[in-house]
Structure 1
């Protein structure tokens, strides 16, 4: 229970719903040292600003003088004791399942209902591992076969912790890391679950000189990377599932209208945001070079896309600091090369 009592007054998605992007930027600028994302907050999209503000490990906290009144927040009406008694009424819960197994749908959002065992004044609550996994397996999309399930570790941000292993879809075959009644802390009515195939435990053969743990590791790696031989090939397979990929692939090596150019730049930037710096399925971390090689574009084209996207998101219409020159230039159809040169010069003049 102490894990729940320790929660203070962080931002919540419900609290932030009524604020503009400019307001969100102001909240970050109150505590700029808490921003941990590799992308500068000045050029971050609104959804990224919200995600970082509500991320508990960052430590952003609400202040007494908001810019404007947000939508009614029930948190302010609750007592300061920290933990509220629950009546056992099931609460809606979204399970974000990232399945790394070969052939599985990689990312699935599943809605379930689970009885809470503890609630806090900040909107967080707890549910048992057993109840969450039982609810998952009772849906139309249960996990089939042998799996190991992990969830983010609140005590060690950036790391996952193992919670349960299933040898089949039946819960009777579940092996829990601790107790089935261990509580998962739930924020924003969402739980992230990472699913892996369990490591094989084939005994060594007397007829083989191979050291079997190395063979197990090789097979495990093959499960993750499929037919890819390099990180570039692996990225190419992942990128094909991104929204906008077909348009990106079709628009190569030709002069584009502004809207097409902006969409192309944003596609490149979204791939970089998703993978740059992440752990490679082969070795080390994924680099910018890996990404632009996977996209089959030049280094200069990649850098231009990141720069142009950052300028447009900050100074374009709806950005944090709209600039009339940028907005006008985006409407001036003189080709993507001209627009690229303008945005490059614009950023350089401002030291960005």
Structure 2
């Protein structure tokens, strides 16, 4: 009978043999002999981080096996997951050293402060983008003509992969008109089965159109229809004394400069100045039988219909007079023309 001889191999030798085989395998496949340079700050667009993203100096071309699996190590070899779109990850010297050893790269950290900052590229969708698509959805339902929307989170920013289209789809929207609230589910990108779904809430506000200056309007210039545009504003922001009818603007002029695209108060307008301060005017008194006139000087400016102070140039007395038109005022009592050299007309 043949005898079977058994040999005892020390466990330490087995472990050493396994390590040597592993190192030999990586070293043989790597073919990386060129010194590499660390990239301190990188931006990636996909979901993976590759050796070539972290280190500069790879000369081995892509082996066509989708990131180095099953073939030689190259700059396309995947070593980590990328952060989420719009987020950042930091890999320190210890992690980088392990990667270099694992793939037998010609690189060692120079200090323990060596690191790589990885940013994930993204397309940003903000709160106004979402509000706009919600308005379109409500308009399609026929109930958004006089409604303004505001998201509860007005600083909302949604980051999606930069390779994906920045399209939005309203999956569902529910409104509570009595309380002026809404909630909605938005899918990004639109029509994608793997789309990210975002739940948003907010408030609805009734709006109205009001006339506002199309440009800066200054005193001395009568307001024309071409100077006015219409602006949608929330009803709650319209004051009782605000101008809401364009006819209130026409043939008026500003008392002070009016800024563009802002609501105007009725007290900001006046009829155009027809008598300037210091202007010589004709003072008129009328009765059923006669009309008397005298010369005067306006002590203040005013528009047709305003009462201003006028000094009689003959008597140096000051009277109140109502402006009739350019250079012409009317006094209420005959005694106000007394001692003047008025003439009967």
Report the TM range for the smaller structure's normalisation. under 0.3
> Going by fraction, where is helix more abundant, 1 or 2?
1
CA radius of gyration, larger in:
2
Structure having greater relative contact order (Cα 8 Å, sep ≥ 6): 1
What TM-score results when the alignment is normalised by the length of structure 1?
Answer: 0.18
> Going by fraction, where is strand more abundant, 1 or 2?
2
